[in-house]
Amino acid sequence: MYFDPKDGMRPPPFKHSVYNALVVPRPIGWISSISRDGAINLAPFSFFNALAGAPPCVMYCPNGFKTGTKEDKDSLINVRETGEFVYNMCTIDLLDAMNATSAHVPSSVDEMKAAGLEAAPCEQVKPPRVKNTPIAMECKVLQIIDLPANEGTPPNHMVIGQVVGIHVDDDVIVDGMIDARKVKPLARLGYLDYAAIMPENVFSVPRPD
């Protein structure tokens, strides 16, 4: 089949918006930020990725408004105010906590505490990182780009940050490399589906040259 996205994301026979199932698996950027008043925010973003390596940059997309409101998401408001955020790796062990932090709660709520997570301090930015994640990257905002929004729909944005500090749990370093078998990253598929990189799914392929 073929369809034009301007006719909507649910052409027959699709029962739900299909877009989230078209680019999979997607990494989950679990983004911590802090408000001007010091409230800690944590939320998952699967419109997330690494962009460049030298210097390292990442991006995430806070799209739409908070459910049932006409307010931007806290993960956008906070970085506009402070210019800082932290990428936390989401692993299979953190699935339930990650899902809990996708709930829309008042911006004054400490979302790390609410999800039963311990916060750890960062070196160069104010927002804390998730203590139990094996990988976290401290970021300073480079640019916030407005993305097109369909008529009558709330705005979409891309936040690009430069990585200024990297935390790696020593336990996931094996033979001088990060071992994905130990990290067990979580990925988002379409709809409400996820996949985890489990040890038996990891393999190496030598380059041809």
Ligand X SMILES: Cc1cc2nc3c(=O)[nH]c(=O)nc-3n(C[C@H](O)[C@H](O)[C@H](O)COP(=O)(O)O)c2cc1C
**Contact region for ligand X (CB under 6 A) — 2-10, 71-79, 118-126, 168-176?**
71-79
**Contact region for ligand X (CB under 6 A) — 41-49, 116-124, 133-141, 196-204?**
41-49
Q: Which of 27, 59, 75, 130 binds ligand X (CB under 6 A)?
A: 75
Does 128 contact ligand X by CB under 6 A?
no
Q: Which of 58, 59, 66, 112 binds ligand X (CB under 6 A)?
A: 66
**Contact region for ligand X (CB under 6 A) — 39-47, 122-130, 146-154, 169-177?**
39-47
Q: Which of 41, 88, 91, 133 binds ligand X (CB under 6 A)?
A: 41
Cα–Cα distance for residue pair 3/76, rounded to 1 Å: 32
State in angstroms the smallest separation of the CB of 174 from ligand X: 28
State in angstroms the smallest separation of the CB of 49 from ligand X: 10
| DSSP H helical ranges for the chain | 74-82, 95-100, 111-114, 180-183
Does 46 contact ligand X by CB under 6 A?
yes
Cα–Cα distance for residue pair 169/132, rounded to 1 Å: 9
Does 62 contact ligand X by CB under 6 A?
yes
Q: Would you call 64 helix, strand, or coil by DSSP?
A: coil
Does 43 contact ligand X by CB under 6 A?
yes
123 CB-contact burial (10 Å; exposed 0-12 / middle 13-18 / buried 19+) = exposed
Characterize the bridge pairing of strands 56-60 and 156-168: antiparallel
Cα–Cα distance for residue pair 115/97, rounded to 1 Å: 5
Does 61 contact ligand X by CB under 6 A?
yes
Does 63 contact ligand X by CB under 6 A?
yes
Residue of 42, 137, 32, 27 whose CA lies nearest to 90: 27
Return the amino acid letter for 91.
T
Residues contributing to the site for ligand X (CB under 6 A) = 28, 41, 43-47, 61-64, 66, 73-75, 99, 102, 104, 188
